[in-house]
Structure 1
Amino acid sequence: MQEVRGGVQEVISVRQIFNPTLFVLHNGILCYNRHTDPAKPYDALHVCVQTVKLEEVFKICHKGVAWGHRGVAGTLDKFQRTFFAMSAREKIRRLVDRCNTCLAKERSIQAKRGPHVPRTVGNVGEKVFIDLVSMSETVRKNRYMLTVQDGFTRFASAYPICNKEADFAYKNPPYNPSSNIMERWHRTIVSILRTMGMEMQNEWDLGVKAACLAYNTTVHNSTGQTSFFATFGREAIVPIHWVYPIPKPDAEKDVTAWTETIQERFQTAYAGMRDKQKQTIRRNVQYYKPILKQFNIGQWVWIFDPRIIPGSCDRLRLYWAGPYKIIWLMAPVLAEVIAVFEQGKPRIVSLDILKEFRGENNGHSLPSDPPHPSFQGGDEITEIPSWS
């Protein structure tokens, strides 16, 4: 028998199965003789495990106090030190994948695992994205930044606000972050504010207008135009133009001629932007690997929930909550879920952050036992930046 990294090669012929040298009875127990060399009697006999007993032995080698829910390689190594089973690697792999407690070790998810559902926007104002960002409190008591971006021209605006109550703002429900272009815009505007100096920690509300101007006057990769030009039909006048003025056209145009010129600019620019949008969709589809299983209404699932909880150790905190029950599949990549054992409102989540629940007898076990604590007011829990 060929040995690989201390484990036995699992390809055994029918002749080898009935070989009395390889399989022997020891104290009434069928064992596999790992070493046929008489000079190596140590660690030679491995107990043969029946298929119906494999899961029970797996719990000993994987879920025992001294085993720590190791992965496929670690569990297989512990299994092969004492036991033997045909096609053990594949069977152990399936059992490890079904272990709910192992989710406690996962602190990230694989993005773009679901189907690619492109959303094309053909005109200005056809789709507008709105979101709220939690920031540090400034001397003017502004704690949040309301961001707005047009889905076609990518023209963005940001407004400092003091709270997120209904009188000031209405926040869109949580859903797939990768489907909202605001997530990428948030990283951009924060990076621009960071370059303005340390005073932006408490004065960021004074720099949002300049940050938006810097973004809107830069050529966007997905449109091939500056957001300002795509919105107003001309380039913005920036401070450098005060020092070096832009030359004016030789002849002034009347209102009709100027309107026709602007209209022609929009038609030419928008045609190019639509072609650029199609190229971006064809490029992005190459990065998606639709390996998600099909979820059904009524199915129990875990949810990846990377919340920062005050007073808890981030390194030891569980990143999976649940179980939740799917009550509505509202889109190919979105689902509405509700907690099974906890009181709460339904949540709209992406299928990317779901994993199938395989509890025993629908028991409430790890990784969400005990469940996340709840806080009054909601301001003490801050979402981690997007993982996509």
Structure 2
Amino acid sequence: MTIDPTQKLNEDWPKLLALLPPGWEAKAKELGALKFGRRFSGPESLLRTLLMYMSADCSMVETVERARTGKLLELSDVGLLKRVNKSGAWLGWITEQLIQQSPVAAMQCPALLGRRILAADGSVVMEPGAVTSTWRLHYTMDISTLRCCEVQVTPSKTGESLTRFSVQQGDVFIADRGFANRRGVNHVLNAGGDILVRMNLSSLPLSDEQGSPFEQLARLRTLQPGQTGEWAAVMKGSKEDIAVRVCAYRKTDEQRSQSECKLKRVGQKKQKQLKPETMEAAGYVVLVTTLDCLDTQEVLALYRHRWQVELAFKRMKSLLGLSHLRKKNPEGAKAWLQGKLLVACLIERLIAAGEHFSPIEGDETEKGSAATPLSLA
């Protein structure tokens, strides 16, 4: 027997409400989601409608029809589009609160106590039916809390750069090789922050303390497998030279072999001939940092901790299919992504609680089974 979607939504809704952070209803008006709230009975009906749209990935017209069936709204699909576009900040606030409340592995770094430690990353996303990526998601997350601090959506041709993010005095930005360029690094340093970024062979030119080009591979070759090393270097700043530290780890033979195989697959996929120097560099993890309060091992450990953020985001993508972006305009796309992140956070909270929430699914699903595919649609 098929359960009516509206009935199913009404049955499961209290479970979801119990997960929401205090003050979520008041924030709807404060952040502009309910500026024209007469079309909705209140924040609850708006959120329920938005979750139908975000989780089911259905069209505006279909969402409106379902919401009307549930007596949630009296609104056209155009009107709902406007509400979606204006709800991004509200959905983002709820998401950040949920992430902040989630238990995460503690990061022990007393030397950086009181400072924001931000992992910067990016992800390409597509609209349904697109052959190539059409948008790029840029975001920073506090690695000590997994709180999403900043999110931007740009056309996919826009490259990754630390210049996209706001910087507060004392911030520490941790980023992968795509962010290792002089302009982005100087953006953080000029605002009073510090950086810890992974390097490749050419994107971030450095010199040694005598002013000669910093020969990276020559120094790396002095390390034995499994050994770490550190060298002083200088980077050209906006106004003056900046002292930096180059910290490196030489991978074990097994780790190096895995990295080389991965690099070869990427090269074959892109039909690119890999240089011998590039293959050699794959055997190392090389970081550059302006932090002077950590030793080499602590610098490498701090960089490894950023993987917690990357894995958390990849998990959200796998849960919700974040590789497909539905909205075309930047405002709507940002709201759509914020909504997807919110739904993913709710799924993870429900998994932790041993519950299964499905607002519009008609089929019976066993509760408490982590192996059962979770769907909010």
The structure whose residues are more often helix, as a share, is 2
Q: TM-score range by the shorter chain?
A: under 0.3
* Rg larger for: 1
Q: Which has the higher contact order (CA 8 A, sep 6+)?
A: 2
Normalising by structure 1, what TM-score?
Answer: 0.20
